Amino acid sequence: MLHPQNAPDLLDGKLEWRRLFAEAWGTFLLVVVAAGAGVVAEKSNGAITLGMAVIAPGLMVMVIIYFMGAVSRAHLNPAVTLAFTLRRNFPWRRVHCYIIAQIIGGIVAALFLRNLFGTIGFLGVTHPGNGVGNFTALAMEILLTAGLMNTILGTASGAARNIGSNGALAAGGYIALAGLWVAPISGSSMNPVRSFAPDLIRGDLSTTWIYIAGPIIGAFIGVGFEFILKKKATDAGAIAAQGTSS
């Protein structure tokens, strides 16, 4: 477990710009892969299969946690930032900056894809599958996100949180696994930015609410289950949340 005194970069307010850049860059990479898989599948006439498309974001998340988890904690997702904050592992005063950085990264990724490929494949959006109702998709997003929050909160490392082998493998593996069985139902987003950015750039927000409400509700449920499993947050995490300056 990493104690705050062993993670000075996470507690140094002067390095906040570095953490925000890491969140924007990491979220860009996640969205460009997650949405881009759908775009490239359409562009290549199916050379990218559904299995490939849902495993790719999981692998990308795993890699991002390895290379920048120690910089920003690799949230990459407003629902994850919310969960860490509710769990007292992250300070409320920094939440809005992290979410803004994530949104910027996601929008830039969607713009990148549109400028390269147009709106082919609907920019890789997430949406309820054929014959699947909005509330069925919402229920699945809530369930998947609750499980993802338990996975991340349960395997992240101490005060630095989303770093290390356990967190990287568990989070990446869960995202791939969720996609393998639920992608045809809801798109297995679990991330408001991943869904919002392509919807915004293509100009259709009709189902975006599902992918905002679902992960947020799932985050609250996941944190509640984490409390049942482990009671209060770790001392190291609480100290980090209190001591990190913005």
pLDDT in the model for residue 3: 35
Say which CATH number the domain at 27 has.
1.20.1080.10
What's the number of domains the chain is made of? 1
Q: Write out the chain's pLDDT in tens, 246 residues.
A: 233 334 445 556 678 999 999 999 999 999 999 999 999 999 999 899 999 999 999 999 999 999 998 898 899 999 999 999 999 889 999 999 999 999 999 999 999 999 999 999 999 999 999 999 999 999 999 999 999 999 999 887 554 445 556 788 999 999 999 999 999 999 999 999 999 999 999 999 999 999 999 999 999 999 999 999 887 665 444 434 433 333
Q: Which residue type sits at 127?
A: H
Domain coverage including residue 65: 4-243
Distance CA 244, CA 94 (A): 9
Q: What is the model's pLDDT at position 70? A: 86
What pLDDT does 83 receive? 95
Predicted confidence at residue 6, as pLDDT, reads: 40
219 contacts: CB under 8 Å, gap ≥ 6: 79, 80, 82, 83, 86, 145, 146, 149
Q: What pLDDT does residue 9 have?
A: 54
The pTM (predicted TM-score) of the whole model is: 0.88
**CB 28 within 8 Å of CB 106:** yes
**pLDDT (0 to 100) of residue 10:** 58
Which residues 6+ apart lie within 8 Å of 185 measured at CB?
128, 129, 132, 136, 137, 140
Give dist(CA 192, CA 211) in Å, integer.
5
